[in-house]
């Protein structure tokens, strides 16, 4: 019996079609903090809760080095389109 490959969606839980349209995974290191990841991926350290909620992290101070975190995609912001 041959083993089949497992998609990241199967590995990390149920797919969320809007939020996981482009799946991004970050391997957590000892120098990382969840707020630094939010700054890196979203440009705003205050959005760390998005990463914590997507990965079901109860205590962000207890993330182990080597943990694979799903980085959710930010929802598009609505606004006015202006042509040049």
For residues 28 and 2, the model is more confident at: 28
Q: What share of the chain is helix, strand, coil (3-state, %, to 5)?
A: 30, 10, 60
pLDDT band, residue 81 (cuts 50/70/90):
low
Residue 74 pLDDT > 70: yes
d(CA 70, CA 31): 18
Which residues make Cβ contacts (< 8 Å) with residue 21, sequence separation at least 6? 73
- Taking the CB of residue 24, how many other CB atoms lie within 10 A of it? 12
Using one digit for the tens of pLDDT, what is the confidence trace for 18-36?
A: 555 567 899 999 999 999 9
Dihedral sign (CA 71, 50, 36, 66): negative
Instruction: Indicate the pTM of the whole model.
Output: 0.66
């Amino acid at each position: 019996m041959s083993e089949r490959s497992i998609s990241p969606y199967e590995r990390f839980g149920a797919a969320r079609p809007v939020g996981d349209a482009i799946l991004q995974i970050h391997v957590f290191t000892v120098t990382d903090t969840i707020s630094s990841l939010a700054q890196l991926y979203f440009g705003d350290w205050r959005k760390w809760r998005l990463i914590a909620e997507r990965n079901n992290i109860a205590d962000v101070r207890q993330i182990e080095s080597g943990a694979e975190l799903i980085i959710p995609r930010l929802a598009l912001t609505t606004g006015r389109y202006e042509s040049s």
